[in-house]
A and B are shown apart, each in its own frame.
Chain A
Amino acid sequence: MTSPALERSAARLLRWYPAAWRTRYGAEFTELLLAEYAERPRSWRRTANVIGSGLLARLSGLGLTGFGLSAADQARASLATLGCAAAAFLIFGLAMAAQLAIGWQWAMPHDPATTSGLALMAAGTVLLLLLTVLAAVPVAWGATAALLGRGTGGGPRRRVAGPVGFVLAGGTALVAGAHHFQNSWPGTGGTAVHRGLVPAGAAAFSWASTLSVSSYWAHPAALRAFPAPELAWMALSPLALLSLAGGTVAIVRRQRPSARLLAYQSRLAAAAALAMGCFLAGAGCWVFGQGSGRAGLFHAGVVDVAGLAVMTVALAAAARAAVGARRGALALAGRG
């Protein structure tokens, strides 16, 4: 290989690392790779090692490893990652739980796996929502203070103004859209039968807000029979969810909370991981142990198995992030 070819090869490998890492170490790391190439032109072990290290450096940036960031950055990055993981978990989890909760309003499940599964999911959801409120209050307070200019200069306001806009836009679109569509299917909410573990309105709202998590995407012919506004909502509601979750995460990453507040948030993060574990246990109980149910109301399909897989990955990331947040908070408090 010629020298430019070696440079290109090194540059390709360097792309596995995050931008901040490349800025700091990119030039010297390229030199090292070129020296290695001169000695041993080809080595799959070296390539695998660089790719693995690059991915690890990216995980460090997300607060999922214990190194590479200062204690405060580690805690903030971990909390933001936990927020992302919890959002993904809730989207797939609520889609699953809403389906069961709505089914329960029409007929009582007769198998204990479904009953206990939904009970665990409901408990996990309530706990997660409570923890979300407890975590959101200080974040919202900090963002409001920054917007009102209580910080020094206009820096804090500029940092949070964009993300706050995304949160408001996404949240408004989600609430308005879900409220509009929650009774558009005869199965949801509109029934006069008031049975079930979860209030009908909550189940219908959860169903409508997570309508995009659907196996109908794999059946275009069936999708074509849907009303156009509902199809549009299925396609656009993920953007509202993304805007809401992404904006919240950006606010968390851009705020400069005190060590005490980070310690408080890290405790909530650990509790959130436990709540997600409770929910996942319920979901697994239903998916793997579900009975036939009446008229297929409680049938677990491929989309539910896929949802379970996504939730498992999200929980693993959240648990790792909770550990990272706690470690960062303890180091910041001088006890790490």
Chain B
Amino acid sequence: MPDSSSPAPARGAPGTPLGGFGRYAGPATLILSSLADGPKHGYALTKDIEQFAGLRLAPGTLYEALSRLEGQGLIEGLESQDRRRPYQLTAAGATALRAHLADQERVAQVGLGRLARTWGAT
């Protein structure tokens, strides 16, 4: 659990691990979430993300995000298997993903709460 006594980082600010990804924050979150249950190579990532998010990442976008995540030390490449290289989450990546998803959860809770108060429960 995040330490509530420590000051929270600015949401989406370039200083936060995923905040600085700009338009790649979306693909980065999807990739990290996909790798959260174990290593996957490029095509397996594409299929998994398509299944749980209903969104297909194009090859160029996928590898741009992969190379950026790898450069930031949030994921790492494993030994290639028949030219397919699996990637796995690093400890830093797991921490960044947890913090990012907690942020998103807070925003979702605020939005859903306000919707419920103003527009009523569906």
Contacts and interface: CB of A to CB of B under 8 A. Distances in A.
Interface in B63-103: 63-64, 66-68, 71, 80, 82-85
A53 B64 contact: yes
Interface size class on chain B is 20 to 34
Given A36-B59, A67-B71, A31 B83 contact: yes
Given A25-B67, A68-B71, A32 B60 contact: no
Given A29-B63, A53-B60, A66 B20 contact: yes
A72 to B, nearest CB: 13
A33 B42 CA distance: 10
A28 B61 contact: no
B58 interface: yes
Contacts of B15: 336
B71 A32 contact: no
Contacts of A46: 58-59
B17 to A, nearest CB: 13
Chain B facing A: main interface SS: helix
Given A21-B67, A53-B64, A68-B71, A28 B59 contact: no
B62 interface: yes
B34 interface: no
Nearest to B60: A53
Nearest to B20: A66
A27 B83 contact: yes
Given A32-B42, A67-B68, A68-B68, A50 B60 contact: yes
A190 interface: no
Interface residues of A, number: 27
A49 B71 CA distance: 21
A1 B67 CA distance: 30
A49 B59 contact: yes
Contacts of B20: 66
Contacts of A21: 67
Contacts of A24: 67
Interface string A184-200: 00000000000000000
B36 to A, nearest CB: 21
A336 B16 CA distance: 10
A57 B63 CA distance: 10
Interface in B1-53: 14-15, 20, 41-43, 46
Contacts of B83: 27-28, 30-31
A35 interface: yes
B116 to A, nearest CB: 38
Contacts of B64: 53, 56-57
B42 A53 contact: no
Contacts of A32: 41-43, 46, 59, 62-63
Query: Which of A21, A53, A66 has the most chain B CB atoms closer than 10 A to its own CB?
Result: A53
A28 B60 contact: no
A45 interface: yes
Interface in A88-135: none
Given A30-B83, A49-B60, A35 B68 contact: no
Contacts of A307: none
B55 to A, nearest CB: 14
Given A33-B59, A53-B64, A28 B71 contact: no
Given A46-B58, A53-B63, A54-B60, A29 B71 contact: no
Contacts of A31: 41-43, 82-84
12 contacts: A28-B41, A28-B80, A31-B41, A31-B42, A32-B42, A32-B62, A32-B63, A46-B58, A49-B60, A57-B67, A68-B68, A68-B71
Interface of B: 14-15, 20, 41-43, 46, 58-64, 66-68, 71, 80, 82-85
Given A28-B42, A35-B43, 13 more contacts: A21-B67, A31-B43, A32-B43, A32-B46, A33-B59, A36-B43, A46-B59, A49-B60, A50-B58, A53-B61, A54-B60, A56-B64, A68-B67
Interface of A: 21, 24-25, 27-33, 35-36, 45-46, 49-54, 56-57, 66-69, 336
